[in-house]
Amino acid sequence: MTVTYTAEVASCTGLGCFLHLLGRWRGSIYKLVWIDLLIYLICYYSLNLIYRLVLNEEHQLVFETVVDYCKEYSTLIPLSFVLGFYVNIVMTRWWNQYMAIPRPDSLAVFVSSTVHGQDERGRVMRRTIMRYACLSVSMVFTMISPRVKKRFPTLGHFVEAGLLQPGEKEIMDDLNTKFPKHSKHWLPLVWAASIITGARKEGRVRDDFAVKTMLDEINKFRSQCGSLLSYDTISVPLVYTQVVTLAVYTYFLTTLMGHQWVKHSKSSVDIYFPVFTTLQFFFYVGWLKVAETLINPFGDDDDDFEVNWMIDRNLQMSYLIVDEMHHDYPELVRDQYWDEVFPSELPYTLASEPFREQHPLPSTANIKVKRDETELFIPSSLKIDEMQYDDLHSAINFTAKPSSLRRSGSSRVSIGRSVSDGMHRVNTVAGRLKRMFSNKDDGEGKDKVESNTGSVAELAQSNQSLYAKSTRPGSMRIADQVIEEVDDEQLTITQQKKAEAPHPSVIGLFGPPPPSQPVTVPTSNISPFEFPMHPHHHISKSAPTHDAPKEMDFIDNISIGSVDADGFDDEFTRLKNLREQERRSR
């Protein structure tokens, strides 16, 4: 049974509450360590007496050499590190096993509230469901706890205890004969689920939701039983347990020699009793004993779980909830604070008056803010002062204009419009080729480009003049600036006059390519179509002969932005004129 001391440590007054616990024997560290410590001291004094009384001087020198060697290298064993991690794992496992113990209280509440009927059959159904639940967990305890196994060694003992009926025992014996390898702790829970579904068919359970609630609780109960069996069959890895055990006992085997008193020892206290060696053994071996005790909390140790008490308690509480208290509750009356709605404070006795507590306050309850510091400070929602300063001193500048001038088609961009929407694409590849092949004078074209783009200095001066006219930096309202929607195709067209003459092409400048040798063309009997041909007209013109006529009329001399020989505008020029008319109409 678990040794409890909660009441003794309820108040830490005086010298220390834990000091009162050192005098206990049951479940104490003294009860676990005293045999190991006695054996260790016997071995220690035996070696000490051999050194003093039996060995001669030559052998004593050898003994002292071994003592120095063990004392120097015994500290290489990481005892604290290994023990700390191992005990932490075992302690976590110990608490998880306790939380996995199934308790039938919740199932009993659901059964009592959902399985109706004051007759004998309804009472039998409720009691049988809870008896099966208690039988299931008791069967699990017999498989993991030696104490319960000694109490219920066979199924016949469950029949004598009233947890199992003779007919039910025969069914289990038959299943154990057919399937002897697997445990049958889940079988009573299957019977309980069948009783619940039968009660639903008889109308003793009002709806399917109540059936689902009880079945979910039974499945949860079964899952916890399976968890206990898993903890029993799957232990902490044996390798880890062996490492910890070897580390502890090997260390103290080396201290039997390493902590011996020899003639050249500095301290003479250990001649009679090894004080700190004993304390070290007590703590480290006691630490190991803690892990040995907690690794199986369903065993026979003093601090193991009291599972026999749990079996009795489960059956008693289950029958009490589903039978004795079924649909039995006190009369509904007005409470004491009916007129007051809620009490201001519940009364105290004279013994509890010194422990009257105040309402807890939050950590910032006593922080006061000065009156002059409570005024609200609203920062500017738009901070562009530094951006304006950077724009003025950068190499790339953009100018702003009022919304009334945006429809004039200027190439300047206003603040509030994105760069991709407001910049004219003057220096594109198409514009560059147009200016290179145009028949305009170079000076005129240069002036036109400069008039469209502007120099960096002029743009900077324009920006400075714009900012000088504004009220103050950072005071612009971007909501007042109207963003004009312009098509992407219109942005790519620059303001240029219609070309008066066709532009020269590459073929017109360098002439046609030189003729090559004729290539034999394979003939075919299939003639998809026929058309009249000149007798001297060749099928292939890629390799004309010496007397082939020159047909330069088929050469395309039309470039981008020019007109053909017949005076018709190409598609690009017509599109440009159409966009220009739409822009002027707006």
Q: Give the number of other CB atoms < 10 A from CB of residue 74.
A: 18
Q: How many other CB atoms are there within 10 angstroms of residue 76's CB atom?
A: 9
Co-location of 200 and 125 in the same domain: yes
Dump pLDDT digits (tens) for 280-309.
999 999 999 999 999 999 988 888 899 999
Residue 138 has what pLDDT? 96
- Could you tell me if 322 and 192 are in contact, meaning their C-beta atoms sit under 8 angstroms apart? no
pLDDT tens, position by position, 419-434: 444 444 445 555 666 6
**470 versus 8: which is more confidently predicted?**
8
Is residue 428 a part of any domain in this protein? yes
Per-residue exposure over 201-228, b if at least 16 CB sit within 10 Å of its own CB, e if not: eeebbeeeebbebbbebbeebbebbbbb
pLDDT at 341: 85
Quick: pLDDT tens for 351-406: 998 888 888 889 998 898 988 888 887 776 555 555 555 555 555 555 545 444 44
CA proximity to 452, closest of 477, 435, 469? 435
If residue 99 lies in a helix (H) or strand (E), which one and from where to where? helix 79-99
- Domain finish residue from 183, 200, 233: 233
Average pLDDT over residues 527-534: 47
Predicted confidence at residue 404, as pLDDT, reads 47
Side chain identity at 266, as an amino acid letter? K
Q: What residues make up the domain containing 141?
A: 100-233
Indicate whether 89 belongs to any domain. yes
Contact 229, 182 (CB under 8 A): no
Which tens digits make up the pLDDT trace of 41-87? 999 999 999 988 888 888 989 998 999 899 888 888 889 999 999 99
> Do residues 91 and 211 both lie within one domain?
no
First to last CA, the chain: 97
**Taking residues 177-204, what's their average pLDDT?**
93
Mean pLDDT score, 447-459: 44
Q: Domain check: are 163 and 63 in the same one?
A: no
DSSP single-letter state for residue 502: P
Tokens of 496: 């240029």
My answer on whether 94 and 60 are in the same domain is: yes
Judged by average pLDDT, the poorest of 94-103, 249-258, 259-268, 516-525 is 516-525
- The C-alpha atoms of residue 151 and residue 147 are separated, in whole angstroms, by 7
Q: What's the CA gap between 466 and 453, in Å, rounded?
A: 18
**Highest mean pLDDT (candidates 318-327, 392-401, 472-481, 543-552):** 318-327
Q: Over 70: is that where the pLDDT of 547 sits?
A: no
Q: Is residue 323 in some structural domain? A: no
The pLDDT value recorded for residue 469 is 42
- Gap between the Cα atoms of 479 and 4, Å rounded: 74
The answer to whether the CB of 13 falls within 8 A of the CB of 29 is: no
pLDDT value of residue 537: 47
How many C-beta atoms lie closer than 10 Å to residue 108's C-beta?
Answer: 25
Nearest to 226 by CA among 330, 333, 136, 158: 136
Q: Tell me the DSSP string of 522-549.
A: PP-S--S------TT--S--SS--TTPP
The tokens of 67 are what?
């003592």
In a shared domain, residues 204 and 281: no
Rounded to whole angstroms, the Cα distance separating 557 from 566 reads 12
Q: What percent of the chain has pLDDT over 70?
A: 67
The answer to whether residue 363 sits within a structural domain is no
- Indicate the residue among 205, 233, 261 that finishes a domain: 233
User: What is the Cα–Cα distance from 431 to 491, expressed in whole angstroms?
Assistant: 12
Kindly state whether residues 243 and 223 are assigned to the same domain. no
Query: Are residues 465 and 402 part of one domain?
Result: yes
Bridge partners of 563? 569
Q: How far is CA 513 from the centre of its chain?
A: 71
Same domain, yes or no: 560 and 471: yes
* pLDDT, tens only, 220-248: 999 999 999 999 999 999 999 999 999 99
pLDDT, residue 471, reads 44
Is the residue at 452 inside a domain?
yes
Q: Is the dihedral of CA 573, 575, 580, 585 positive or negative?
A: positive
Number of domains in the chain: 3
The angle subtended at Cα 332 by Cα 328 and Cα 336, nearest 5°, is 130
Q: In the listed set 255, 279, 294, which residue is the last one of a domain according to the structure?
A: 294
pLDDT > 90: percent of the chain: 40
| β-sheet bridge partners, residue 569 | 563
Name the residue with higher pLDDT: 580 or 516.
580
Same domain, 443 and 561: yes
Residue 102 has what pLDDT? 95
Domain assignment present for residue 469? The answer is: yes
Instruction: Kindly state whether residue 345 falls inside one of the protein's structural domains.
Output: no
* Mean pLDDT value across residues 510-527: 63
Is 141 contained in some domain? yes
Say yes or no to pLDDT of 491 above 80: no
Spatial CB neighbours of 428, under 8 Å, sequence gap ≥ 6: 492
Rounded to whole angstroms, how far apart are CA atoms 561 and 574? 9
Within this chain, do residues 560 and 452 fall inside the same structural domain, yes or no?
yes
Q: Is the pTM of this model over 0.85?
A: no
Q: How far apart are CA 300 and CA 382, in angstroms?
A: 76
Q: Are residues 116 and 242 in the same domain?
A: no
Q: Which residue has the higher pLDDT, 12 or 122?
A: 122
Tell me the average pLDDT of the chain. Answer: 77
> By mean pLDDT, which of 60-64, 212-216, 471-475, 566-570 is the weakest?
471-475
487 and 413 part of one domain: yes
